[in-house]
Amino acid sequence: MPNLTAAMLVIGDEILSGRTRDSNMHHLAGELARRGIDLREVRIVADDHFAIVEALNALRAVWDQVFTSGGIGPTHDDITADAVAAAFGVRIEVNAQARAILAARYESMGTEFNEARLRMARMPEGATLIENPVSGAPGFSIGNVHVMAGVPAVFEAMAASVLSGIIGGVSLLSQALIILRPEGEIAGPLSTLARDFPDLAMGSYPFVRNGVFGAQVVIRGTDGARVDAAMLRLAALFPQAGE
């Protein structure tokens, strides 16, 4: 059975303007890899209704699972729930369960449950809740789309909750070797090795450190013995790399 595929949609002017450096994508990528789910595409769009609708419809049609981050708070620029409803062609409504969770939380805190906060209970018809143990206001899933907050602590908690309910595929195993030679000398032998192991994925990630050129060569596959065999061949090709 092939692995599940996934995509992520990051919604946020603050990422595109360079003001904030995204961390949610990197977090999710690691969590998905650990579970054997292949993250295949990420898109980052502005807080713009049509941009969100278009990107979401493109991604959810192609990949098994889609994760979004950002735009589900109480302020006027939080337009993700409306855009998701539009993408699915369903009405947006105040979700009774979400409203009850928020009402209980604000009551226990002695805080007013005002109109802005009620906005956070607005969800597409048919959505199911994603628990938010950090700040209360839940995310939601609809179809194969999981809508989560942009604040990293909240995003990570919601991602853990969603991922516990998704069965992953076979974990991808990987091994890496750092080779302190310019990539131009690694390329030829690596290409031959890749042809000899068509069942494995081999990537070369070059770097420059203190003026020294090198590359980290990563070999990935689902069969550990094959990954081991290829890695042994690679190490033999570049014997000085073991240092």
Interactions with its own copies, residue window 196-225 (CB under 8 A): 201-208, 213, 215, 218, 220
Contact pick of 4, 29, 178, 241 for its own copies (by CB under 8 A): 29
Tell me: does residue 33 bind its own copies (CB under 8 A): yes
Which residue number, 109 or 232, has a Cβ lying nearer to its own copies? Answer: 109
Tell me: does residue 188 bind its own copies (CB under 8 A): yes
Please answer whether residues 162 and 130 qualify as being in contact, where contact means their C-beta atoms are separated by less than 8 angstroms: yes
Tell me: does residue 156 bind its own copies (CB under 8 A): no
- Residues in contact with its own copies, counted by CB under 8 A, come to a total of 73
Tell me: does residue 96 bind its own copies (CB under 8 A): no
Which residue number, 31 or 127, has a Cβ lying nearer to its own copies? Answer: 31
SS3 content of the chain, % helix, strand, coil (to 5): 40, 25, 30
Which residue number, 90 or 218, has a Cβ lying nearer to its own copies? Answer: 218
Q: Take residue 65 and report the two structure tokens written for it.
A: 């699972």
Say how far apart CA 167 and CA 15 lie, in whole Å: 30
Tell me: does residue 135 bind its own copies (CB under 8 A): yes
Report CA torsion sign: 211, 212, 215, 216: negative
| Sequence-distant contacts of 117-121: CB under 8 A, at least 24 apart | 117/74, 118/94, 119/74, 119/78, 120/72, 120/73, 120/74, 121/94, 121/95
Please answer whether residues 132 and 157 qualify as being in contact, where contact means their C-beta atoms are separated by less than 8 angstroms: yes
Q: How far is the CB of 117 from its own copies (least distance, A)?
A: 4
Say how far apart CA 194 and CA 179 lie, in whole Å: 16
Which residue number, 142 or 186, has a Cβ lying nearer to its own copies? Answer: 186
**Closest to 59 (Cα-Cα) out of 5, 13, 15:** 5
Tell me: does residue 66 bind its own copies (CB under 8 A): no
Tell me: does residue 14 bind its own copies (CB under 8 A): yes
Task: Please name the residue ranges forming H helices in the chain.
Answer: 13-16, 24-34, 49-62, 80-88, 96-109, 115-118, 152-163, 183-196, 224-237
Tell me: does residue 60 bind its own copies (CB under 8 A): no
Three-state SS for 5? strand
Contact pick of 3, 11, 24, 31 for its own copies (by CB under 8 A): 31
Contact pick of 4, 36, 49, 51 for its own copies (by CB under 8 A): 51
Binding window for its own copies (CB under 8 A); candidates: 89-97, 163-171, 181-189, 221-229: 181-189
Tell me: does residue 170 bind its own copies (CB under 8 A): no
Contact pick of 52, 85, 86, 190 for its own copies (by CB under 8 A): 190
